[in-house]
Amino acid sequence: MSALRRFLRTPEAVAGAILLAVLIAMALSASLLFPGDPQAIAGPALLPPFQDWSLPLGTDRLGRDVLAELFHGARTSLAVGLAAAAAALVVGAVVGTLAGFAGGLVDEVLMRITDAFQTVPSFLLALAFVSVVGPSLGVVAIALGTWTGPARVARAEVLSIRERDYVAGARVIGMHPLAIAFREVLPNALPPVLAMSSVIVAAAILTEAALSFLGLGDPNRVTWGGMISEGRAVLRTAPFLSIVPGIALVLTVLGVYLAGEGIVETTAVRRGLS
Amino acid sequence: MSGRTEGGAQARHLSWATRRQTFDAPMTRALTLIRRRLVGSIFVLLIVVVGTFLLLEAAPGDAVDAYIVSTGGDAGMIELLRHRWGLDQSELTRLANYLWALLHLDLGQSVTFSRPIRDVILERLPNTLLLMVSATALSFGLGSALGIYAGARPGSFRDRFLSIGSLALYAVPGFWLGLMLIVVFAVDLRWLPIGGIETLASDKTGLDRAADIAIHLALPVSALGFIYLALYLRMMRAGMAEVWRQDFVLAARAKGLSRRRIVLAHVARNALLPLVTMLGLQSAQMLGGSVVIESVFSVPGLGRLAQEAVASRDTPLLLGIILTSAVLVIVINLLVDIAYAFLDPRVGAGEAGA
């Protein structure tokens, strides 16, 4: 049985994949379905959902189309989440590989730095970073707090790989240590690091939402966190303005978790069989 | 999910540590551990101080700008203040001055509060600690209990239901859960107050005041605690699944022990240890999470202070808060390690403090 078929037989994984597919479709079709500025005024303010079919989810405090904002927000969430997670995985894998392969003083210094990053609450670090360089570099701010996990996992994996015969072989034929580290060791240390990616993407999406909620997101983009924050002002009279983007966030993160877990489990089984 | 991967890394780490096991008295092992940890922590703290100091140095504007914005003043005054606060010195000199002051537990002066930063932080810290401790108790207690309930019958309906339910809960942003709790319990039902830490100017004392604070903290503690509950539940469940396969469980079964006794005394007990480590690892996340939760519920704690510091560009205050959080995280992890040394006789002197 192929991994794909096994994936399709797991109901949770399929649900996750569907959620993710919907999200990606929303992000890709945002400019097609809702061309123009999603932050422009589209109708009367605070129109409740399901009243006017040209504005199915109603409007917010300023009369902006909630559905259009939701679609454009999907784009921000996905873009920032994926970019931050990719940056965290790359930095983590490189730092972990260097630390594990070099050992000694390099390892010691890199791991103390990792400790330092893990000691400072990552959200506080992101807050400080955004306050210094501005909200446009939110991706870096989020990655700052998430690269440590991959770094530790990569290091642990490299420590076990570096004693293997093929690494000794590469040394004997006179390969440069850096070439061994990144061409021979790193690719083999990647699977457990990549297995963390769904958790990291999810964490990045949640951190981005929290930053935007506190008003530290990119002001030129629609974000779900920003929408919730906007809706908070009218929480008593129009709670749906906070509820709708919140549900979108939950479904997105859940989709990432479920699909990620599905992929990890199906591939793990395959590895176990072969 | 996250619990599973991190738990795995932890287990690997532990097996490495137990290779050189020594069975000293728990007290001796705890003292050795404290000594090793303190030495390592000083380096880590130094990196945090220098790194954060340099990061915040790069911020546009300094304390004087922030001060002038709020009070007004001319160029002469700006010059005078820069000189008085030592801001006209080089970066390295100021870092050295800051470190020297830090040795005397002096975090400098807050521009926005016009008070020593240490005093401002110490005033807010108890609220955050109360919030964190309560949320941790809720998530750890309820999470591990539900995890035992789910893990007692692996693969059963309740196991699947709880593990999917907890995953869904884990996907909920804390601030949004907080808002939803406000909508239901404070706006619709009017059972609980919408925010704050206690009723203002109520002159309540003793138990009345404690009850008042408890009522005010019920929603923020739930919002913060329920997110992490999922983590402990999943970790407990995954840990129990591992333990079920071990020989001593088979032995316990062969001995004719009741299923209930096997679950509680053998499986759950052995699966509980990694969760204790998680308590320490999670403390930094929890502190970060409380920034947003405190902002949602207007709890005057450290997290809300951090947000105020960002809003008013009070960088020395932000630096002080980050340092305090780092010290707090280190202390919590140390306490967890000491608890661990007492709980698990295998962990101890061999550990290099990684």
pLDDT digits (tens, 9 = 90+) for B90-114: 778 888 888 888 888 888 888 788 7
pLDDT band at B199 (very low <50, low <70, confident <90, very high): confident
Which pLDDT tens digit goes with each residue over A174-214?
Answer: 888 888 888 888 888 888 888 888 889 999 999 999 999 99
Residue of A nearest to B188 (CA): A236
B175 touches A: beta carbon within 8 Å: yes
In 3D space, the residue among A98, A101, A116 whose CA is nearest the CA of residue A162 turns out to be A101
Structural domains present in chain A? 75-273 (1.10.3720.10)
Which pLDDT tens digit goes with each residue over B129-154?
Answer: 999 999 999 999 999 889 888 887 87
Neighbours of B146 (CB within 10 A): 22
B172: left (phi over 0), alpha (psi -120 to 50) or beta: beta
Would you say B283 and B224 are in contact if contact means Cβ atoms under 8 Å apart? no
What DSSP string runs through B303-337?
HHHHHHHHHTT-HHHHHHHHHHHHHHHHHHHHHHH
Is the model's pLDDT at B298 over the cut of 70? yes
CA distances from B294 to A174, A241, B196, B297 (A): 57, 21, 9, 5
Is the model's pLDDT at A270 over the cut of 70? no
B54 touches A: beta carbon within 8 Å: no
User: Would you state the pLDDT for residue B346?
Assistant: 62
**Cβ-Cβ contacts under 8 Å, B2 against chain A:** 199
**Cβ-Cβ contacts under 8 Å, A214 against chain B:** 291-292, 295, 307
Between B16 and A235, the more confident residue is A235
B55 touches A: beta carbon within 8 Å: yes
In 3D space, the residue among B325, B232, B255 whose CA is nearest the CA of residue B287 turns out to be B325
Asked if B6 lies within 8 A of A149 by C-beta distance, the reply is yes
Looking at the DSSP bridge assignments, the partners of residue B109 are: B116
- pLDDT, average across residues B199-214: 76
Residue of A nearest to B174 (CA): A210
Of the residues A120, A144, A196, the best mutation for testing chain B's interface (the one with the most B CB atoms within 10 Å of its CB) is: A120
Neighbours of A222 (CB within 10 A): 25
- pLDDT, average across residues B20-42: 73
Tokens of A26: 């929303």
Residue of B nearest to A239 (CA): B183
User: Would you state the pLDDT for residue A191?
Assistant: 86
- Strand spans (E) along chain A: none
Asked if B292 lies within 8 A of A258 by C-beta distance, the reply is no
pLDDT band at B28 (very low <50, low <70, confident <90, very high): confident
User: Would you state the pLDDT for residue A9?
Assistant: 79
Asked if A210 lies within 8 A of B170 by C-beta distance, the reply is no
- Strand spans (E) along chain B: none
Of the residues A89, A112, A115, the best mutation for testing chain B's interface (the one with the most B CB atoms within 10 Å of its CB) is: A115
Rounded CA separation A195/A191 (Å): 6
Would you say B111 and B117 are in contact if contact means Cβ atoms under 8 Å apart? no
Tokens of B38: 């303190």
Looking at the DSSP bridge assignments, the partners of residue A52 are: A55
Which pLDDT tens digit goes with each residue over A19-76?
Answer: 999 999 988 887 877 787 777 776 777 777 777 777 777 777 777 888 888 888 898 8
**Cβ-Cβ contacts under 8 Å, A198 against chain B:** 1
Instruction: Please report, as a single letter, which amino acid is at residue B154.
Output: P
CA distances from A137 to A113, A128, A142, B123 (A): 22, 12, 9, 33
Residues in B 142-171 with any Cβ partner in A closer than 8 A: 164, 167-168, 170-171
Asked if A213 lies within 8 A of B292 by C-beta distance, the reply is yes
Of the residues B112, B175, B185, B188, the best mutation for testing chain A's interface (the one with the most A CB atoms within 10 Å of its CB) is: B175
Q: Which of A123, A153, A199 sits opposite B288 (nearest CB)?
A: A123
Asked if B167 lies within 8 A of A254 by C-beta distance, the reply is yes
Q: Which of B59, B174, B329 sits opposite A131 (nearest CB)?
A: B59
Size of interface A-B (CB pairs under 8 A): 154
In 3D space, the residue among A59, A72, A78 whose CA is nearest the CA of residue A33 turns out to be A72
Q: Which of B40, B173, B329 sits opposite A249 (nearest CB)?
A: B173
B354 touches A: beta carbon within 8 Å: yes
User: Would you state the pLDDT for residue A208?
Assistant: 92
Tell me the shortest Cα–Cα distance from B207 to chain A, in angstroms. 32
Would you say A147 and A99 are in contact if contact means Cβ atoms under 8 Å apart? no
Asked if A253 lies within 8 A of B187 by C-beta distance, the reply is no
Query: What pTM was computed for the model?
Result: 0.84
pLDDT band at B345 (very low <50, low <70, confident <90, very high): low
Q: What angle do CA B133, B329, A196 make, to 5 degrees?
A: 100
Residue of A nearest to B166 (CA): A254
pLDDT band at A116 (very low <50, low <70, confident <90, very high): very high
Q: Please state the ipTM of this predicted complex.
A: 0.87
Looking at the DSSP bridge assignments, the partners of residue B116 are: B109
Distance from the Cα of residue A266 to its chain's centroid: 21
